[in-house]
A and B are shown apart, each in its own frame.
Chain A
Amino acid sequence: MNTPALKDWPLWEVFVRSKQGLEHKHCGSLHAADAAQALHMARDVYTRRQEGVSIWVVPSVAITASNPDDKGELFDPAADKIYRHPTFYEIPEEVGHM
């Protein structure tokens, strides 16, 4: 008979720092009983070829995500603020790099 699989092992999101000095980057998720096991499994699943020097695991339920339906409301207001970019400003050539 089949036994239940992983019903009660929660999902974790895995973030890996590929190299000292760089940020941790989301690289995937996995099921584990607790944080220590999640770290252990993340090591085996996501860093078999020295892809990382540090791992974070976060319970997936702890992540609050923005709603895709709010995309316009959240991000569109930035679209017409071109003066936030350096290229908006004209500086005489003789000034050189600024």
Chain B
Amino acid sequence: MKFQIIKNKLLGLIIPLILYVAWDFLTSREIIPPELLPAPKVIFDTWWDLQSSGELALNMKMSLLRVGFGFLLGAISGFLLGTAMGLWKPVELYLNPLFNFFRQIPVVAWIPFLILWLGIDEWFKIVFISFGAFIPMALKTLEGIKGVPASYLEVVRVFEYGWFRVLRTVIVPSALPSISTGLRLCLSEAWMLVIGAELVAAGEGIGNVMVIARRLFQTDVVLVGVIVIAITGFAMDKVLGLLETRFLGLHRSQNAQ
């Protein structure tokens, strides 16, 4: 059992390992020119440089702060809207068409307007991130609440539950997996958009490090940025995933087929 789990985890590492070896082979022999794809060793050295100079930490801090604020703003407002629409039919009828219209708009399409309204400083980035984070959160919350099986609601109707007990016993636990998925989507969206926002507008941040590095032909720094972004995103999702199993319990994930 344990062995099987470890084996399955190892299987997922095989392809990355092959890619890594290929990357190392092709770049160290300069079959791929180093200016197009630097070798792993170069990437590691550059990473270490950026790390020890504190440049990476400073810029990551800025990016993560933005993600934090944008994520919170988007997740909270998305959760509130999703909950309101899920619980009150009139709210859904009034707002859902507008929301569905709104979510068809790719977040990047807001960039010109957001810049016009908010300039290119922090508010622009935070609001931009929150726009993107808001959508999956509202959607998944609504979906979760709407998806509460009617059969369960009937059970508690027979028991004459008040609204609060219905909420606590059925709606929240039933909607929670969907909400937690929303949260994860929301965070990964926020993380992608912070990079997008920083690519567009200047200021410190890992995305901006990459823009500047690209303009200065520092391919290695760009690639370090890509890798750091990937690892950070992966780690953030993993942490949320762990929290999910920790707080939602294993029996739920098995039950929700």
* A interacts with B: no
A residues contacting B by CB (< 8 A) are none
